[in-house]
Structure 1
Amino acid sequence: MKTILVPVNNDEGQGARLQAAFDLARAFGGHLTCLQVTPYTAYALGEPSMGAFPVTAMIEAIEQEKRNERTAVEAQLAQEGIGWDWITRDGDAVERVREAARLADVVVMNSGPFGKMASMRLAVTGDVAIHAPSPVVAVPTDSHGLAVTGAALVAWDGSQEAAKAMRSALPMLRLAESVDILTVEEKETDYRARDAAAWLSRHGVGAEVIERGSGGQTIESVIRDVLAERQSAWLVQGAYGHSRWRQTLFGGVTRGLLADAPVPLVLSH
């Protein structure tokens, strides 16, 4: 994970995103790419009757705010001792992030709770997780970094999404102090948790398989329980869902964990 992409837009989750990105960059000797996107709607200001001067002044105010934000973030970057570059784009935030992810090894975004505009931000992170070519690390807005070398939990159900998420997270799994693979008996599959553990072992990663029955609980509840029991630092999870008319629709497990994540999530679809 040498190229770490992180969106910069001065929201309440930015501090958590940046710290997680710093931690990834240090763990892998990586390079940070900051992506600052200004939506077109930000420039759709006022009415024609307002005249040119007020609109021009408002546009300049937006540009000055962008410059101030860049100056503040660059001051942080200068103290971190990592390589970085800055990309400025206009347009739709999800589209610009997905485009920039073409040459990124991982995208750092936020999980919830998101506070104001919660449903829109959930859709943004989810849309990127489902459609970007690289995995997404989604960190809670109140987190204080990403323990890359901490204990990892892989949620496994034999699906293509789970397999892709595990494969995408392999560089991180190699650094984890321990790896658990959790399977909750829900459906039959030819690709069992022990097969996933064997695959990891061929890549030098030892993993313990944890098999749980649902016991009347939801799959999400079982995952949360195991995260707490094993004191996992982060979770590898397949992103299940699709996007329609820019509103991302998830399966229940992905939606629940992303909306209120107890630990950082490594997501891939």
Structure 2
Amino acid sequence: MKSVLLYVNDDTGLEARLQAALDVTRAINGHLHCLRANPYNPQMAFDGVTGMSVVYDVAKLTREADEKLRASIESRLADEDVPWDYEEANASPARGLARNSALADLLVLSSGSGDKDNVLPLGILGDVLFNTSVPALVQPDSVKKFDAAGIAVVAWNGSFEAGNALRAAVPLLHLATAVHILTVDEEKHHDLPPLAASEYLSRHGITSEVHSMSAKKPSVEAVLLSTVDALKASYMVMGAYGHSRARQFLFGGVTRSLFKDCPIPLIVSH
């Protein structure tokens, strides 16, 4: 894990994403690639007198905003001790991130925890996770750091997605002071029990502790959140969208709930 891809946009989560991206890039001695994906295209307008014309004013304002954002980010990064570059793409956020993810090891995105614009981050998360094979660091707006040396929690349900997330997180779990594997008894069979996850980590030289939790609270996510709080965890590793994304958005789901309510960063993979 060396290449970190940061989504750059002037929104409420930018500062938290930037700080988390710097922390994780520094921790892994990696490279930070900043991507500003802007879907704007010059619009064509018609009137009955002059005929067709290009709306230059809108293009000018958009360009000025992009230049201001780039100058701000580059000014900040100039004083940091990590290698970085900045790129602009004429694409929607999800499409731009997917296009540029082929050589990335980790994406840094916002969760849906913000008060003002939490619908957009959820949409971007869903699209990116379903259209790439790259794990994502999902950062709450209120948390302006990523403590790679802290306590890590792995939310384990024996699924293919959980396995992908665990494998992707191995470089970070090597840096954690402690690793806890949490499994919640949902009264259903899983092909890969938590002991298998612990044994897998041991082959990578990572010691872990397994916790089997009873689903006595209102939901699986409630059990996970209370345990994360009790363990004073710095971040949680989890698989995302075990069911179809459409079903989870219509009826809820652990993934969507944690994207909105988890108070610590998530390392997720689909």
TM range (shorter): over 0.9
Residue 238 of structure 2 is aligned to residue 257 of structure 1: no
Distance 1:160 1:54, change over 3 A: closer
Give the direction of change, closer, same or farther, for the CA distance of 1:38–1:248 in structure 2 (3 Å limit).
farther
Structural mapping, 1:1-269, within 5 Å: 1-40=1-40, 43-44=42-43, 47-49=45-47, 55-186=55-186, 187-240=188-241, 241-243=243-245, 252-269=253-270
Shift of 1:149: 1.0
**Matched-pair identity in %:** 37
Deviation per CA, 1:76-132: give whole Å up to 9, x if none: 110112111111111221011011111100000011223334223211122212332
- Rounded to whole Å, the distance in 2 between the matches of 1:160 and 1:227 is 22
Greater helix fraction, Structure 1 or Structure 2? 1
CA distance in 1, matches of 2:245, 2:199: 33
For 2:245 and 2:16, locate their aligned partners in 1 and report how far apart those are by CA, in whole Å.
26
Q: Secondary structure, in 3 states, of the residue corresponding to 2:100?
A: helix
2:162–2:238 CA contact under 8 A, matched in 1: yes
53 and 69 in structure 1: CA distance in 2 versus 1, 3 angstrom threshold: farther
SS at structure 2 position matched to 1:103: coil
Are the equivalent residues in 2 in contact too, given 1:106–1:134 (CA < 8 A)? yes
Change (3 A) 1:25 1:56: same
Contact 2:16 2:139 in 1 (8 A): yes
CA distance in 2, matches of 1:44, 1:229: 53
What is the CA deviation profile of residues 220-258 of structure 1, one whole-angstrom value per residue up to 9, with x for unaligned ones?
Answer: 0000011011000000010014456xx967861101000
**TM-score, structure 1 as length reference:** 0.92
Question: Secondary structure of 1:48's match?
Answer: strand
Q: Which moved more, 1:213-222 or 1:176-185?
A: 213-222
Maintained 8 Å contact 1:130/1:239: no
Q: Distance in 2 between matches of 1:198 and 1:192?
A: 10
User: RMSD of aligned C-alpha atoms?
Assistant: 2.0
The structural deviation recorded for 1:155 is 0.5
Partner SS state of residue 11, structure 1: coil
Gaps in structure 2 of 5+ consecutive residues: none
Q: Aligned residues, how many?
A: 265
Give the distance between the partners of 1:131 and 1:249, measured in 2 at CA: 20
CA distance in 1, matches of 2:55, 2:141: 34
Q: Secondary structure at the match of 1:21?
A: helix
Partner amino acid, structure 2, of 1:255: R
Cα distance change on mapping 1:90 and 1:248 into 2, 3 Å: farther
Give yes or no for contact 1:234–1:266 (8 Å, CA) kept in 2: yes
Residues 159 and 191 in structure 2, CA contact (< 8 A), matched pair in contact too: no
**Could you tell which deviates more after superposition, 96-105 or 109-118?**
109-118
